[in-house]
Amino acid sequence: MSKEYKVLKNDREVRIYLDPLRLRIMNIYQENDDPLSAKQVADIMQLPPSKVYYHIQKLISIDLLELKNTNVINGIIAKYYQCKYKTIYLYDKKAAMNYLAFYQNS
């Protein structure tokens, strides 16, 4: 993690971040100092790597994860990601609560 914090500044970023699966993924990355691949995270979560990779791409799109390195394993390129920030703040607590309520009811 290279920076102290990020503020999610709009509804799109908050909506992407507050997805329950993405919160779990972020938690795994924040608990690990070393970069992890989507496969490693998928193994921890006991989910298909393709599903985890999709959600990692969403987190990259809002600048929460960054590619740290790549490694070729049996002809397959493994990409290793890491959290960019130690802390993530939401721009509007009320909006965040609305999104959380939405996810809890769906």
Q: What's the CA gap between 30 and 37, in Å, rounded?
A: 14
> Using the 8-state DSSP alphabet, how is residue 2 labeled?
-
The answer to whether residue 83 is domain-embedded is yes
Total domain count, the chain: 1
Domain hosting 50: range is: 3-96
The answer to whether residue 40 is domain-embedded is yes
The answer to whether residue 27 is domain-embedded is yes
The answer to whether residue 105 is domain-embedded is no
Q: For residue range 84-103, list pLDDT tens digits in order.
A: 998 898 876 676 676 666 66
Q: Would you state the structure tokens that stand for residue 35, as one six-digit string?
A: 């970069």
Q: For residue range 55-93, list pLDDT tens digits in order.
A: 999 999 999 999 999 999 899 899 999 999 988 988 766
* Helical ranges in the chain per DSSP H: 11-17, 20-31, 38-45, 49-61, 93-105
Average the pLDDT over 32-61 and give the result. Answer: 97
Q: What's the CA gap between 22 and 4, in Å, rounded?
A: 20
The answer to whether residue 21 is domain-embedded is yes
The answer to whether residue 102 is domain-embedded is no
Q: Give percent of the chain with pLDDT exceeding 90.
A: 63
Give the pLDDT confidence score for residue 89 in this predicted structure: 86
CATH code for the domain of 60:
1.10.10.10
The answer to whether residue 74 is domain-embedded is yes
> Using the 8-state DSSP alphabet, how is residue 47 labeled?
S
The answer to whether residue 24 is domain-embedded is yes
pTM (predicted TM-score)? 0.84
Q: What's the CA gap between 15 and 26, in Å, rounded?
A: 14
